[in-house]
Amino acid sequence: MDPEAARTARESLDLAFHMSNILDTGLDRHTLSVLIALCDLGQNPEALAAVVKEFRREPSSSSPMPTSSSSVH
């Protein structure tokens, strides 16, 4: 990528990140960059938004999941 294109891409990401913060999306710069890249590759933005929402609904992997063996005393 030539320097001018790199600068334009960086400025575009900065602007998108600023808008994301104003809208309080909770997306970090890297995640937003990945989502934009997926849109550029032709992925459906509404489907990507649904995936992000679904990931946020799922319990984090660091929280203990109840298992059937843990209920046996």
Please check the confidence at residue 66 and state whether its pLDDT lies above 90: no
Domain map of the chain by residue range? 26-57
- pLDDT category at 60 given cuts 50, 70, 90 is low
- pLDDT category at 73 given cuts 50, 70, 90 is very low
40: which 2 tokens?
């550029």
Q: How many residues belong to the chain? A: 73
Indicate the pTM of the whole model.
0.72
34: which 2 tokens?
């990945």
Q: Could you tell me if residue 64 is left (phi over 0), alpha (psi between -120 and 50 degrees) or otherwise beta?
A: beta
pLDDT at position 1 is 78
- pLDDT category at 12 given cuts 50, 70, 90 is very high
